[in-house]
Amino acid sequence: MGPVRSELMWQAVVDAVEIAGAGDLLDVLDLGGGTGGDAVRLAQLGHRVTVVDPSPDALASLHRRGVEAGLVDPVRGIQGDAADLLDHVAPGSFDLVVCHGVLEHVDDPAFALSTVATVLRAGGHVSVVVSGRNAAVAARALAGDFVTAQTLLGRSADDWDLRTMGPRRFVPSELEALLVGGGFVPVAANGLRVFADLVPSAIVDTEPGARDALYALERVVRTSPEFSGLSAGLQSIARLDLSPAPPNPGG
Ligand SMILES: C[S@@+](CC[C@H](N)C(=O)[O-])C[C@H]1O[C@@H](n2cnc3c(N)ncnc32)[C@H](O)[C@@H]1O
């Protein structure tokens, strides 16, 4: 097993694929897929993978990674972003959209998710991972930066200035509300890295068995609401809602 942190993030992708596909080979869009660490591993499992990312450097790394992995069917890399997604991919063309570590950076997360809904097939799934605000508050407080901790505590994800405050951070209820508002039904919520970012690497790297034990602990606590709200990463896996919209009483 590699570093616990990256293994946990990969396992979050595997969890999404299992829920979305139950063993089938899927058409997967990795939106903001970056250098393609997850995308290439998904392609090695046989899934048909497209990465859309605004960074040409990341896409070049994705290409190199795919070549080194000897992929028979390469990952399709497209320069674009969440806002212009429909200029690059067809509506209704994916079974699963992976959107990990991206909504922190976009100007309008609600618009990004409504676009994601458009490119999914009926019954398709999205997996979203965002940074947890509670974990950031705890990290600031533990570092003695109590003023920033309190500032973060008082902010909500929709009252966030990316330019002055850096990447947006969420609490679980905000992520769930975003997904529901975007036309999704959340089906699983996981807390990623409840402890992994807090444990000194000297312990994990030197204590015999510590890495495996930490990984096992993280996999157990990820579904506990008491702990997942404190995790560095919040994952929600959600299905496109196919139920008809309720009648509009005013119209
Ligand atoms: C923190 S990295 C996450 C990479 C990968 N998804 C992962 O989980 O390891 C954020 C990625 O989002 C991309 N990104 C930034 N703004 C974006 C946008 N508006 N739409 C799509 N992707 C964006 C960046 O280029 C970068 O590759």
Model confidence pLDDT, tens digit, residues 130-143: 999 999 999 999 99
The predicted structure's pLDDT at residue 208: 84
Residue 100 Cβ contacting ligand 1 at under 6 Å: yes
Residue 117 CA to residue 69 CA, distance in Å, equals 31
Share of the chain above pLDDT 70, in %: 96
Residue 51 Cβ contacting ligand 1 at under 6 Å: no
Tell me the best of 8, 10, 53, 97 to mutate to test the pocket of ligand 1, counting ligand atoms within 8 Å of each CB and taking the most.
53
pLDDT digits over 7-24, tens only? Answer: 999 999 999 999 999 779
What CATH number does residue 212 fall under?
3.40.50.150
Distances (CA, A) of 22 to 15, 96, 169, 186: 10, 12, 31, 17
Atom 26 of ligand 1, nearest CA residue: 34
**Pairing verdict, β 233-240 and 94-100:** unpaired
Domain membership of residue 132 (yes or no) is yes
The predicted structure's pLDDT at residue 176: 97
Q: Which residues of the chain have pLDDT under 70?
A: 1, 244-251
Domain membership of residue 48 (yes or no) is no
Domain membership of residue 186 (yes or no) is yes
Q: How many CA atoms lie within 13 A of 105 on its CB side?
A: 15
- What pTM was estimated for this model as a whole? 0.93
Q: Answer for the pair 210, 203: CB distance below 8 angstroms, yes or no.
A: yes
Distance 251 CA to ligand 1 centre (A): 40
Domain membership of residue 86 (yes or no) is yes
Number of domains composing the chain: 1
Partnered with residue 37 across adjacent β-strands are: none
The predicted structure's pLDDT at residue 37: 95
Domain membership of residue 55 (yes or no) is no
Distances (CA, A) of 208 to 6, 119, 211: 19, 46, 8
The predicted structure's pLDDT at residue 244: 64
Say whether 2 sits in a helix, a strand or coil. coil
Range of the domain at 116: 4-32+81-240
